[in-house]
Amino acid sequence: MSDASVNLDDLQRPTRPQRFALAGVAKFIEVTFPRAVGAMLLWAASLKIWDESGVTRVLEFDRVPQGLVPLAVSVVIGFESALGMLLILRPRLRGVTVAAMILLATYTAQLAYLAAFRDAPNCTCLGAWSAYRAARFDNLMGIGRNVCLILALLLVQLTRTSGTSPASI
């Protein structure tokens, strides 16, 4: 006979893993956050459609050949729009979330490149939200914004792949 005592209540109740108290909220965030990123991408694309001069200046600063600039602007707007729509319509697709992280990482690298030069133009990613007039500061703030978005999308993706809900993290 062992001297370990057993509580009868513990034997009758199955043990559950510790979870976040608001599991429903966590599930809501898992589906809603990619949609919010999709809406932001659509907003950014619509601003570029409205006034493509900002993205044109950035591409010219990147030394994209003048003949390819209109095509590059169209590709950027088209890809951003398509990805934004897919994130809104199919937020649980793994490839769409990964594509969004890659696009945001690419934009972050572009912003870091622009921030390295004093005479670089503003990225005009979300031009209507620009609160400051210094292009360098706007570009650095864009890096911070994109890193936060990438990390949040990565968290959503990791919770999907591991099979656990964000509630258990």
pLDDT tens string 9-42: 555 655 555 555 566 777 777 888 899 999 999 9
**140 compared with 120, residue with greater pLDDT:** 120
List the structure tokens of 34: 């990619």
The 8 Å CB, 24+ separation contacts for 56-60 are: 57/121, 57/124, 58/110, 58/114, 58/121, 58/123, 58/124
What is the pLDDT, as a whole number, of residue 145? 84
How many alpha carbons lie under 13 Å from residue 111 in its C-beta half-sphere? 23
Size of the chain in residues = 169
What's the DSSP call for residue 101? H
Residues 35-56 have a mean pLDDT of 91
What is the pLDDT, as a whole number, of residue 20? 53
Strand spans (E) along the chain: none
Flag whether the pTM goes above 0.75: no
- Phi/psi for 120 (5° steps) reads -70, 150
pLDDT-based confidence at 146, cuts 50/70/90?
Answer: confident
Supply the angle between the helices 94-115 and 23-50 in degrees, to the nearest 10: 50
Given a cut of 60, is residue 166 above it in pLDDT?
no
Which of 21-25, 82-86, 126-130, 152-156 shows the lowest per-residue confidence on average (mean pLDDT)? 126-130
Contacts of residue 45, Cβ cutoff 8 Å, sequence gap at least 6:
77, 80, 81, 84
d(CA 32, CA 30): 6
Contacts of residue 9, Cβ cutoff 8 Å, sequence gap at least 6:
none
